[in-house]
Amino acid sequence: MSKSDILSSKNIKQWIVGSCATLLLLSAIIAGNLVGCGNSKGVNTIADKKVDLTPTNELVLDIPRYRWFPQYYKDAIEEFEEQYPDVKVTVNRLGDKEDHTMEQYQTALTNELMAGAGPDVILTDYFTSDLYKTMDTGAFLNLSSIISGDKNFNMGDYNSSIMSSGYYKGGQYIIPLGYTVQIKVAEQSGLHKIGFDMNKVTDCTSFVREISNCLPKAQENPLFRGMFDWPILTRMLRVSGILLVDEKTNTALPDEVAIRAFCEAYQPYYDTDYDDTDYGEYTGSQYDLYSQGIMPFGYTSNNTDWIFYYTYLKTKSGNPVVIAPKSVDGGLRATVTNGVAIRSGSTNQLNAWNFIKILLSTQLQEKQPGNGRMGYPVNTAALKVLLNSFKTMGIRGISSGENGNEKVDFSLLTSEDIDHFQTTLNSVSSCTLLCEPMENLFMKCMEPYFKKEKSLDSCMQDLKRQLNLYVSE
């Protein structure tokens, strides 16, 4: 699938399905008088269901039916059954084994919630495309009183910036389990070849602007394949801290100056970001990919890829550079990758909370691999274990490269390297929940500007109009 297809087919389909499911849920719950009325400023009072921690002997879980379902969750279920042998755990598998499991999970779970049923624990990363609208419905239990009343649970064991992303309108409705940040690694010589100046990078917008400025020189290389291995537009906007909607006040485009500057910085890079050219699999030296500017920022789609390729560049006696573009508040902005909530109508709230505590335990959080759908662990002790584990990985191979046998020697990582990784991740100052519908609206409205078909003013007006309509739904 080409880069342009990534948005136009997969994401749009998920947006349509997810938005329809969310709107159905909103209609059903509003009809049931579970939603508090908002004032003219959009500050709603969520009608929380009563917390009831009466001991029961059942726990119901819904999980997607497909083979890549993370082992992390499976291990948590086994651990819960071992700790609470008197509790019957019912695991319902939703959807097909392979195709569109996220959409099927959303649809099936929404149908259950509309019928006043459903699991005790909801996996928010598989459930809905707009968690803010879902929280407004009162579908999730407010966990604040449970957290404050549990003397065996300490929120201080977790990254506070990440955990706060699940705090909404006065309550903790979602418990994040993992997160991602946009960290890139490059080779100093490769950056020099394309004229990339780190001194000009102060935040996400200036990072994107420098990418665009360096593009003409990078394209002089006949082997150039793009700056990155994946489109960066929504990823960089997501971590820029520039809000499309202020969820606390339901205000669309609260900082139009910032969003305009971001779009202007990105526009020259659009054609390269969504290039349809099939370059085929890269089989040359990975080091040349970085050092010769063929793909200056290489393969960093997954969370820990940057650590892998940082180590690779050290193995090749290179000079790796870690680039972590900051958000508007001066720190790193993260995005929640996976999280959980308790259904507000659950009759097994105590068991659900105990299951969530197992998911948050250092023992289980250490199994968060830091890649794919499973991001960095929110448990700070587990994060340290994850980062230190790289030093013990020995020598690993890279599938492509000269004769297919390039190596990465993780023994070259020093304690200073690990401290640097930890410091970088600890600089996360804010975090957001993923909201694809708004990102897709942004792309739909701004793409004519990126394609030079409409003016920036015209597209910005359309974006604000569409976001206001979305917020009012």
CA distance from start to end of the chain: 33
In a domain, 395, yes or no: no
Same domain assignment for residues 345 and 262: no
In a domain, 447, yes or no: yes
Let me know whether 78 and 212 are in one domain: no
Judgement on whether residues 343 and 326 belong to the same structural domain of the protein:
no
**Residue 392 in domain:** no
What is the chain's pLDDT, residue by residue, as a tens digit (473 residues)? 444 444 444 344 444 444 444 444 444 443 333 332 322 233 445 778 899 999 999 999 988 876 657 788 889 999 999 999 999 999 988 776 655 567 778 888 888 888 888 999 999 987 656 888 889 889 999 999 999 999 999 999 999 999 999 999 999 999 999 999 999 999 999 999 999 999 999 999 999 999 999 999 999 999 999 999 889 999 999 999 999 998 778 899 999 999 999 999 999 999 999 988 888 878 788 899 999 999 999 877 667 889 999 999 999 999 999 999 999 999 999 999 999 999 999 999 999 999 999 999 999 998 876 655 678 999 999 999 999 999 999 998 876 544 456 889 999 999 999 999 999 999 999 999 988 889 999 999 999 999 999 999 999 999 999 999 998 88
Question: Is 388 domain-assigned?
Answer: no
Quote the pTM value: 0.87
In this structure, are 10 and 121 located in the same domain?
yes
H or E stretch at 302: none
Same structural domain, 22 and 148: yes
* Four-residue CA torsion sign, 97, 99, 105, 111: negative
Distance, in Å, from the CA atom of 346 to the CA atom of 76, rounded to the nearest integer, reads: 19
Range(s) of the domain holding residue 460: 184-330+433-472
Paired tokens of 12: 């749009």
User: How large is the angle between the packed helices 233-240 and 204-218, nearest 10 degrees?
Assistant: 150
Q: What is the pLDDT of residue 23?
A: 47
Q: Give the pLDDT of residue 94.
A: 78
Predicted confidence at residue 184, as pLDDT, reads 92
pLDDT computed for residue 110 by the predictor: 82
User: Per the structure block, which two tokens stand in for 446?
Assistant: 């701004």
Please report the DSSP string for 346-405 in residue order. Answer: -S-HHHHHHHHHHHHSHHHHTT--SBTTB-EESBHHHHHHHHHHGGG--EEEESSSGGG-
Look at the alpha carbons of 404, 405, 406, 408 in this order and tell me if their dihedral is positive or negative: positive
